[in-house]
Amino acid sequence: MKFATLKDGTLDGCLVLVSRDGHRAVRAGAVAPSLIDALQRWDEVHLPLCDLFESLNVGSAPGAFDFDPTACAAPLLRGPQWLDASAFLNHGRLMEQAFNTPPIPLFDSVPVMYQGASDDFLGPSDDVPLPSEADGIDFEGEFGVVTGPVPMGASPEAALACVRLVVQLNDWSLRALGPHEMKTGFGFLQAKPSTAFAPVAITPDELGSAWCDGRVQMRLQVQWNGERFGEPHGGEMSFHFGQLIAHAARTRRLSAGTIVGSGTVSNVSRAAGSACIAERRVIEKIDVGEIRTGFMKFGDRVRMQACFDDGQAGPFGVIDQRVVAAPGAR
């Protein structure tokens, strides 16, 4: 199934199902008014939602309408928990050089993860208001999953079975603020503004063979101000999503609607480009001896879209956002 949430002025928005071809949608309120409600009652609403989805695909769903992704909020406007990992070790090692930090102990065997804000997710076409260009405005293209309830101590295999939905996201970062917060030992706060999501969240089966080994086997195409920035492949993820979920659930249970991110998609091959500016900057320093790329300015745009290996556009839709000055910005 494919889900999206329309903006309607409420806290959780209006849940719709989106057809496989992405052209049509139907409101799901008679079954579940919002995506968080559907996730919390998954066993009860799963089959009725499947029936509605299939009727939409064959053209028999009453009240179906043309789907407009620009009218969408994030699939979840808010969630019980947002956990972001650094599951692409290539990116993590490059960032150690960027921030001049010592190697993280057990980095190859224990996932690195922080808890972000989950009360204010951004939609795929929303402007991104930020306080200062001097904060080092950066995008981070990622994949993520949304879970059902996960018991404490779940194994990676059991945790992977708790995945309900797959999402594509942009984990905005303020790079000038990150080093200080990392050194405090308390994790990110000011360095991580609201995270943005592509319009459509999908059940894993909609990916077919591109959902394999707990990873999204797709390229994430990133453009900055209309120019190619990178298209790294999700298959190089060092920890799969089951391992990430199990890590988060080692000492606590997770609520339905918990979102777990992969961290910035990153490939060893330089030809793949990057999914964030910070990674390009440290590669420039390593490869040519100097940093040549600055961070984003107000008015800049970033576009992200996942694509299958054959080049076909993926089912998540497009994140296309502009950075703007927040009121009182410097």
In terms of domains, do 116 and 258 share one? yes
Express each pLDDT in 120-155 by its tens digit. 999 999 999 999 999 999 999 999 999 999 999 999
Say whether 125 sits in a helix, a strand or coil.
Answer: coil
**Residue 330 resides in a domain:** no
Say whether 287 sits in a helix, a strand or coil.
Answer: helix
One-letter identity of residue 316: F
Which residues make Cβ contacts (< 8 Å) with residue 124, sequence separation at least 6? 69, 70, 72, 74, 196, 197, 198, 199, 317, 318, 319, 320, 321
Express each pLDDT in 14-28 by its tens digit. 999 999 999 999 999
Tell me the two tokens of residue 251.
């000492």
Which helix or strand (DSSP H or E) is residue 97 part of? helix 89-99
In terms of domains, do 93 and 126 share one? yes
In terms of domains, do 67 and 87 share one? no
User: Given the DSSP bridges, would you call strands 259-261 and 82-85 parallel, antiparallel or unpaired?
Assistant: parallel
pLDDT at position 92: 79
Sheet of strand 313-325, all strands in order from the earlier edge strand to the far edge: 128-130, 313-325, 301-307, 219-224, 227-230
Express each pLDDT in 295-325 by its tens digit. 999 999 999 999 999 999 999 999 999 999 9
One-letter identity of residue 181: E
In terms of domains, do 37 and 58 share one? yes
Tell me the two tokens of residue 85.
């990992």
**Residue 76 resides in a domain:** no
**Residue 290 resides in a domain:** yes
Say whether 288 sits in a helix, a strand or coil.
Answer: helix
pLDDT at position 267: 97
| Distance in angstroms (rounded) separating the CA atoms of residues 293 and 280 | 8
Tell me the two tokens of residue 224.
């900055």
Distance of CA 46 to the CA centre of its chain: 23
Domain limits at 112? Answer: 82-325
Q: What is the DSSP letter of 11?
A: S
Q: Would you say residue 183 has pLDDT above 90?
A: no
| Distance in angstroms (rounded) separating the CA atoms of residues 197 and 167 | 7
Burial degree of 269 (CB within 10 A; 0-12, 13-18, 19+) = exposed
Q: Would you say residue 104 has pLDDT above 80?
A: no
Mean pLDDT over the full length of the chain: 95
| Distance in angstroms (rounded) separating the CA atoms of residues 169 and 33 | 23
In terms of domains, do 150 and 279 share one? yes
0.85 surpassed by pTM: yes
In terms of domains, do 45 and 159 share one? no
In terms of domains, do 135 and 192 share one? yes
In terms of domains, do 226 and 157 share one? yes
**Residue 244 resides in a domain:** yes
In terms of domains, do 62 and 111 share one? no
The three-point CA angle 233-197-208 to 5° equals: 50
pLDDT at position 95: 73
Q: Would you say residue 293 has pLDDT above 70?
A: yes
pLDDT at position 180: 81
pLDDT at position 99: 65
User: Given the DSSP bridges, would you call strands 173-174 and 65-66 parallel, antiparallel or unpaired?
Assistant: unpaired
Residue 209 has φ and ψ, to the nearest 5°, of: -70, -10
Express each pLDDT in 221-251 by its tens digit. 999 999 999 999 999 999 999 999 999 999 9
Percent of the chain with pLDDT over 90: 86
Going 36 to 38 to 42 to 46, the CA torsion angle's sign is negative
Per the listing, tokens 């290539």 go with 90
**Residue 126 resides in a domain:** yes
Q: Would you say residue 10 has pLDDT above 80?
A: yes
